[in-house]
Amino acid sequence: MKTFQKSLLMIAPLLAFQAHAEEQWQFQITPYIWGVSQQGDIGQTDVPLVGDMVVELDMSFSDIAERLDSAALIAFKASKGDWVIWTDYIYMKLVDDLSMTIGNSGLTIANTDITARETFWDLDVGYRLINNADYDFYLYGGIRQVDIDTVASIQFQGPGQNAQRVSIGDDWLDPLIGVISNWQFAEKWSLIGQLELGGFGVGSDSSFQLALTANQTLSDSWSMRYALRYVDVDYDDNGFVFDTKTTGPLIGVSYSF
């Protein structure tokens, strides 16, 4: 009897591995729209001939939509058994023109044309720790690449003042860890919660993400996503400051295959 039990213990991992090997990869692609508002500080300190160019942001969704030149937001997920891999890509380009007082430059008012690009690209790998009939729980880790690129063309007021082109920005990688829970509370509806921490002084000083998503199944291949997402990033390096809170509702359509 003991020999039989030992044999079962030895072959159980092989049986589990074989079961996962026989499962098929499943894929899902989700383009989406995120109605963001953004608050915080962004800019560069000690810019030559200009001084500090750190702007306090308080932009509503309508403010951002008015200045939005282009955007691309898309997520892709691949899953097999208890494992899941996904990537989330966010790109936004904003353009604006404004008059501003330059910090400690000794100059007064400047007319400024601004082009700002923000890119966030996440790559994560997760493992399902709980797998019940109507509830799943995942632990995941990954990285986020952030690229902030702002170009300001500044025309100072006053005789003899020349225009100056200033590039502000930086790029960095953040490690990420997080959890995701998925509760199937109705036949065609599930509720997905996500909590994520990152940065840890490796890239940004800290980052935090909280998202709550309602997923509506339309067919075997199609579903809708309705979400609220909050992202907080605190980065300060080489005089570049990106301390922002980005939040808003999200809607997307998913195709599974």
**CATH number of the domain bearing residue 65:** 2.40.128.90
Domain span including residue 10? 2-256
CB 248 within 8 A of CB 229: yes
pLDDT reading at 201 higher than 90: yes
pLDDT value for 3 = 45
What's the pLDDT score for residue 22?
60
pLDDT of residue 132: 95
Helix, strand, coil % (nearest 5) of the chain?
A: 10, 70, 20
Q: Is the pLDDT of residue 16 over 50?
A: no
Spatial distance between the Cα atoms of 9 and 150, rounded to a whole number of angstroms? 59
Domain count across the chain: 1
Residues near 234 by Cβ (< 8 Å), separated by ≥ 6? Answer: 199, 204, 205, 206, 207, 242, 243
- Render pLDDT for 214-257 as a digit per residue (tens, 0 to 9): 999 999 999 999 999 999 999 999 889 999 999 999 999 999 99
Helix (H) or strand (E) holding 2: helix 2-22
The answer to whether 206 touches 234, Cβ cutoff 8 Å, is yes
188 within 8 A of 216, measured Cβ to Cβ: yes
Mean pLDDT taken over the chain: 86
Instruction: For residue 166, name the pLDDT band (cuts at 50, 70, 90).
Output: confident
Q: Who wins on pLDDT, 44 or 3?
A: 44
Mean pLDDT to the nearest integer, 66-80: 96
For the whole model, what pTM was predicted? Answer: 0.83
Q: Can you tell me the mean pLDDT for 78-107?
A: 81
**pLDDT at residue 54 in the model:** 79
